């Protein structure tokens, strides 16, 4: 398969990069000085696969110039950076990396909730600055027993629910439809869910319907004692409304792994002590990074060996 051209859209994983180089004719988009349209035109006949991620996937501007493109393998579970309609129209296969990252993302979601409520980052700065000598740290809020709302009860949402249950939290959720085989309380209206929970997790896929699903009404329903945790996508949240709510005290706090215009984060958030910010690292552990890379490779090899895909989307 060394003669099969594979385009990697941006740096993702050194391990994945090495594995692709060992198996395919790898093109690294970021290593070429030519404008992207010129690069794609030059190599249009060679590229049969695209490997993308949450930063750069495969939109129509990338797909159209590649007449021999057969498969898009995403090094992520999210598909919002891939033009699925264009892929379906052209008969291009699409795969992603579900399941292998579920635990890590759910772990981080719970970690963010704990960090916000127990003020872990603020505590850390308190000790490092030497302020403990001057007196004890202020009281925080407990996580155990809180009411938890989850938007999107898929793989990651369910994993968050399972972990929150271990803290004796009451679980409720919102999704497109009520899920069978669960005792969690279902809300068809997201505003009602936000009003009835103390911590709201965003764990759904990003679609046209879920874009800015967290708006002013939802934020105000969650209220000045409520906590928002976003481990989904930045565009799930109307970011200016979130910033305003935090600055005005209309929202109690937030834990954010994702942002609307990554890697740019609103500077107004930097001085707030009731939020925890991490740089989109939900699945970024050594173990999961390798498992995701292996799944990308396995899907590519299966496709070019005319075998069933492991995690097909299209």
The pLDDT value given to residue 284:
95
The pLDDT value given to residue 29:
95
Is 240 a domain residue? yes
| 272 and 135 in a common domain | yes
| 259 and 130 in a common domain | yes
Is 310 a domain residue? no
The pLDDT value given to residue 291:
97
Q: Catalytic amino acids? A: 233, 262, 280
Is 312 a domain residue? no
Using an 8 Å Cβ cutoff, are 218 and 245 in contact? no
Sign of dihedral through CA atoms 12, 15, 37, 58?
A: negative
pLDDT tens string 228-265: 999 999 999 999 999 999 999 999 999 999 999 999 99
Is 296 a domain residue? yes
Is 251 a domain residue? yes
Is 164 a domain residue? yes
| 61 and 163 in a common domain | no
Query: For the chain, which ranges sit under pLDDT 50?
Result: none
| 124 and 217 in a common domain | yes
**222-226: which pairs have CB atoms within 8 A and are 24 or more residues apart?**
222/194, 222/195, 222/197, 222/251, 222/252, 223/195, 223/250, 223/251, 223/252, 224/249, 224/250, 224/251, 224/252, 225/198, 225/252, 226/194, 226/197, 226/198, 226/199, 226/200, 226/251, 226/252
Question: What CATH number does residue 119 fall under?
Answer: 3.40.50.720
| 129 and 253 in a common domain | yes
Predicted structure pTM score: 0.93
Is 221 a domain residue? yes
The pLDDT value given to residue 33:
85
The pLDDT value given to residue 237:
98
| 291 and 175 in a common domain | no
| 112 and 25 in a common domain | no
How many structural domains compose the chain? 2
| 87 and 27 in a common domain | yes
| 139 and 36 in a common domain | no
Residue range(s) defining the domain that contains residue 292? 5-96+286-305
Is 175 a domain residue? yes
| 71 and 45 in a common domain | yes
| 147 and 273 in a common domain | yes
| 249 and 127 in a common domain | yes
The pLDDT value given to residue 261:
96
What is the rounded distance in angstroms from the CA atom of residue 299 to the CA atom of residue 125?
A: 45
């Amino acid at each position: 398969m060394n003669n099969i051209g594979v385009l990697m859209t941006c740096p993702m994983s050194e391990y994945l990069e090495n594995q692709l180089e060992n198996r395919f004719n790898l093109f690294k988009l970021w290593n070429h000085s030519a404008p992207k349209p010129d690069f794609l035109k030059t190599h249009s006949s060679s590229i049969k696969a695209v490997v993308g991620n949450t930063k750069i996937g495969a939109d129509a501007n990338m797909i159209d110039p590649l007449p021999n493109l057969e498969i898009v393998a995403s090094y992520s579970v999210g598909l919002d950076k891939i033009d699925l309609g264009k892929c379906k129209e052209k008969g291009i296969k699409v795969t992603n990396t579900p399941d292998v990252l579920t635990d890590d993302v759910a772990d981080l979601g719970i970690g963010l909730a704990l960090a916000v409520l127990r003020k872990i980052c603020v505590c850390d700065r308190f000790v490092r600055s030497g302020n403990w000598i001057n007196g004890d740290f202020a009281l925080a809020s407990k996580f155990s027993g809180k009411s938890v709302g989850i938007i999107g009860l898929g793989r990651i949402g369910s994993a968050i629910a399972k972990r929150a249950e271990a803290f004796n939290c009451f679980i409720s959720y919102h999704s497109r439809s009520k899920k069978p085989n669960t005792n969690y309380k279902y809300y068809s209206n997201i505003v009602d869910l936000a009003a009835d929970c103390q911590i709201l997790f965003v764990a759904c896929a990003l679609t046209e319907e879920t874009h800015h699903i967290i708006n002013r009404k939802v934020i105000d329903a969650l209220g000045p004692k409520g906590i928002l945790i976003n481990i989904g996508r930045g565009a799930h949240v109307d970011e200016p409304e979130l910033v305003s709510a935090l600055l005005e005290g209309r929202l109690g706090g937030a834990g954010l792994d994702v942002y609307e215009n990554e890697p740019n984060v609103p500077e107004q958030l930097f001085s707030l002590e009731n939020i925890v910010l991490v740089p989109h690292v939900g699945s970024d552990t050594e173990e999961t990074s390798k498992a995701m890379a292996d799944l990308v490779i396995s899907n590519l090899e299966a496709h070019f060996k005319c075998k069933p895909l492991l995690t097909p989307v299209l």
